[in-house]
Amino acid sequence: MTIDKVSIVTFAGMKLYLQSAHLYVIAFSHKKLALNLIGKLYLDPSSETYRATLDKIKKQFNASETMHLSTCNRCEFYLVSKDIITKEDTKNFFIQFYSHLSASEKEKIGKQLIFKKDEKAVRYLMEVASSLQSMVVGEREIITQIRNAYEHCRALHFTGDLLRLVMKKLIETGKEVFDKTDIAKSPVSVASLATRSLNTLNILENAKVTVIGSGITMQTFMKYFHQDKYQYTFVSRKKENSHALQQKYGGRYMSLSELKEITSLPTDVLVVCTAAPAPVADGFLFEKLFDSHFHPIVVDLSNPSDIAEDVFNTHSFHYIGITSLKKQAKENLLKRKASIFDAQKIIQTNLEEFLQVFRERCVENIIREIPVEFKEYKQKALDEVFKKKIESLDQSNRKILQEIVDYIEGKYNAVTYKKLKNILLQ
């Protein structure tokens, strides 16, 4: 073991360091950017180009691990790289990466990009998992979104040991915050806020409700909104997904392509939330749904919006969208200050625990080579240095000698490992 390999333990000053690899977070958040702009940064995990896109980012920053997370109010990339990456590096790359943006939009994402490294990156991610970075503090959906994003990237072989450790601790931290504080008391996620807004309107007793989309946000919305008196029609790009909601809440179901083929589907309330790259609800769909309706209700939980721009000019309807819910989210934030303080204390404790585990992992990686090197010396002694003397021994004495050497090797490794680990951790 060389001095250079031991000196790597100077990571204690940097707090998070694994054989010169660093954790980076590059984030575009609703706290810095408008929601419609964040929507333009969306990457579709189900697209055929998704793997190639992440691979491009991974190669750009010489990353050993890469992960991507997109929700309705954030788009984030997590990288593990041995290279020293600066905020300016990421700014220049992503301005070019999002080539479809206008010059002013590129300038905005460059100025408002969130960049975190090592310990600050872990703390930020714990805040994300605990909903402290969410538009609506207290939304539990974020834990599922993080877990799904990680599992998807892991399945594509983009993640490794560091992100595995980080994600495990994030999920644990988020669950502890939700279990031990009032941060999610009377939950007010985007879905629940939308439901509260709907409850203030005079919805017909037997209203015809068309639901387009079947993702996590829509599933959560239905938990809050569902009433047996409503007549549902569930629509999704994949028919089996709309069927799953229909089995739970009743009504009818169809695929999005089937909806486009029928001539009419009378609707009182439209709820839409998809990850489609273009607005699903255009003028043709509105005529199909609301041809004879004087003032329908539209709930748009998508970002970017699933309602085509021209529809707002040509049709009259009561509109509930994510942007309109942001003010309520800010009011909610003020009410939860005490819970946020409690959550921050939990995050700090979990961060310290994680760093300790991480330091131990670093030390283990360093001293893991000790047994290998000692075994090489042992074999050289037996096979070369003392070969002739050993050959002069009878079989019984050779066996005893081998047992003695193996015993010393085991004890040496155990004692050295323990003492060196304590020294390095200090």
| pLDDT of the residue at 417 | 67
369: left (phi over 0), alpha (psi -120 to 50) or beta: alpha
191 contact partners, CB below 8 Å, separation of at least 6 = 141, 217, 218, 220, 221, 223, 224, 225, 301
Q: Domain map of the chain by residue range?
A: 3-183+336-363, 190-323, 375-425
Quickly list H helices, 280-394. 283-290, 309-314, 322-335, 337-367, 369-380, 387-391
| pLDDT of the residue at 250 | 95
Measured distance CA(363)–CA(341) in Å, rounded: 33
Cis preceding-peptide flag for 279 (omega within 30 of 0):
no
The one-letter amino acid at 326:
K
* pTM of the full structure: 0.62
3-state secondary structure 142-179: HHHHHHHHHHHHHHCCCCCHHHHHHHHHHHHHHHHHHH
SS3 183: coil
| pLDDT of the residue at 422 | 66
Helix (H) or strand (E) holding 26: strand 22-29
3.30.460.30, 3.40.30.10, 3.40.50.10490, 1.10.287.1770: CATH of 3-183+336-363:
3.30.460.30
| pLDDT of the residue at 402 | 87
| HSE-up (13 A, CA, CB side) for residue 81 | 21
Measured distance CA(166)–CA(24) in Å, rounded: 12
Token pair recorded at residue 65 = 């691990």
264: left (phi over 0), alpha (psi -120 to 50) or beta: beta
CATH fold, domain 190-323, is Rossmann fold (3.40.50)
The dihedral over CA atoms of 234, 240, 246, 248, expressed in degrees to the nearest 10, equals -140
- pLDDT tens over the chain, length 426 residues: 222 333 343 333 333 333 457 999 999 999 999 888 998 999 999 889 999 999 999 999 999 999 999 988 899 999 999 899 999 999 999 999 999 999 999 999 999 999 999 999 999 999 999 999 988 788 888 999 999 999 999 999 999 989 999 999 999 999 999 999 988 776 567 788 888 889 889 898 899 999 999 988 899 899 889 999 999 999 999 999 999 999 999 999 999 999 999 999 999 999 999 988 889 999 999 999 998 788 899 999 988 889 999 999 988 899 999 887 767 766 776 777 778 889 999 999 999 999 888 877 767 766 666 677 778 888 888 888 888 888 888 888 889 888 888 888 888 777 766 766 666 555
The one-letter amino acid at 134:
S
| pLDDT of the residue at 9 | 39
For residue 193, give the nearest of 145, 146, 138, 128 by alpha carbon: 138
Residue 18 dihedral angles phi and psi, to the nearest 5°: -130, 100
Measured distance CA(94)–CA(24) in Å, rounded: 14
